[in-house]
Amino acid sequence: MWTKIIPRAAERSTYVLFSSVAMFFMFWQWRPMGGVIWNVQSGYGRIALYVLYALGWVMVLATTFLINHFDLFGLRQVVLQLIGRPYTGLRFRTPGPYKLVRHPLYVGWVTVFWSTPVMTAAHLLFAIALTVYILVAIKYEERDLTQIHNEYADYSRRVPMLVPAGPLSRPAASGTKLTFNSGIERPIGGDGASDT
């Protein structure tokens, strides 16, 4: 449907453009909501959170270039169409932080959303909504990556999704259950990745 209106080569860049316009509109129209959830008073604590925030932005920018910034934003597809060359998909590779987690770009975004010395109710709503959006998007993205790249299924079994260390860092075998400290059991999806 969408590609009947927009040429296939411009599909991704058009999505990025519309998403950016929607985000700009949201920022422009955002209205404060009352209440402060947390307010870190310690100078060291504030500095640590600002450093985490900056590192999150560095991670976001760096990882886009590691996986091909221009392909990610749809620019490579448009340029190839304009010069009359066919688009060829990128080969699967795992540079730098992609050896530690499957989605370092999303780790960077989540770090940016949550690293703030003053968390207001509005910021909390924003951080929760976008974190949930990322977690849902990962499920669809991983399904597509498994279909496009044969080696992605093995990669997803070897490399954790978002957390490089700790009890949730390694995917469990398909069909098993993870038990969290709360004692709640949650089934693991068929792709071996946690549903959380």
Tell me the domain boundaries of the chain. 2-25+36-164, 172-196
Say which residues have a Cβ less than 8 Å from residue 142's Cβ, sequence separation at least 6.
102, 152, 156, 191, 193
Q: Give residue 171's pLDDT.
A: 56
Give the pLDDT of residue 9. 85
Average pLDDT score over residue span 57-76: 91
pLDDT tier, 165 (very low <50, low <70, confident <90, very high otherwise): confident
Measured CA distances, 133 to 94, 106, 130 (Å) = 24, 11, 5
Q: Give mean pLDDT, residues 157-169.
A: 81
% of the chain with per-residue pLDDT over 70: 83
pLDDT in the model for residue 117:
96
Which three-class secondary structure state does DSSP give residue 54?
Answer: helix
What is this structure's pTM? Answer: 0.77
